[in-house]
Amino acid sequence: MQYHAPTNKFTIEACELAVLSVDIRYVIKKIRQASNFPLDGCSERPRVMTDACHAEATLLRACKNLGIDLGADRPGKLDVRDAG
């Protein structure tokens, strides 16, 4: 990320966003593994949101706010079997 003084904006290279996307998918995978949740994004999850569900939802929301589409917008819907 770089600050561009003439426009008073930050610029982010596409490769930086790609690395961030890979890292966040890996973090989501680790959260699910620690909580014994499925990695495939299709299996049943608890009806009540757990701390792990809230953590994943927060990461997905952060990505959305940065303009990154990981392929899912709800906890448990992203396939992270191949992450990391």
Confidence label for 54 from pLDDT (cuts 50, 70 and 90): very high
Residue 25 has a pLDDT of: 97
What's the alpha-carbon Rg for the chain, to the nearest Å?
15
Both structure tokens of 7: 């426009």
Map residue 21 onto helix, strand or coil.
helix
Please tell me the distance from the alpha carbon of residue 77 to that of residue 42, in angstroms, as a whole number.
Answer: 6
pLDDT at 69 over 90: yes
Residue 79 has a pLDDT of: 95
Across all residues in the chain, what is the average pLDDT? 92
CB 20 within 8 A of CB 68: yes
Spacing of C-alpha 58 from chain mean position: 8
Q: What is the value of pTM for the model shown?
A: 0.85
Task: For residue range 22-48, list pLDDT tens digits in order.
Answer: 999 999 999 999 999 999 988 887 788
How far, CA to CA in Å, does 21 sit from each of 29, 45, 61, 63, 65? 12, 23, 13, 8, 13
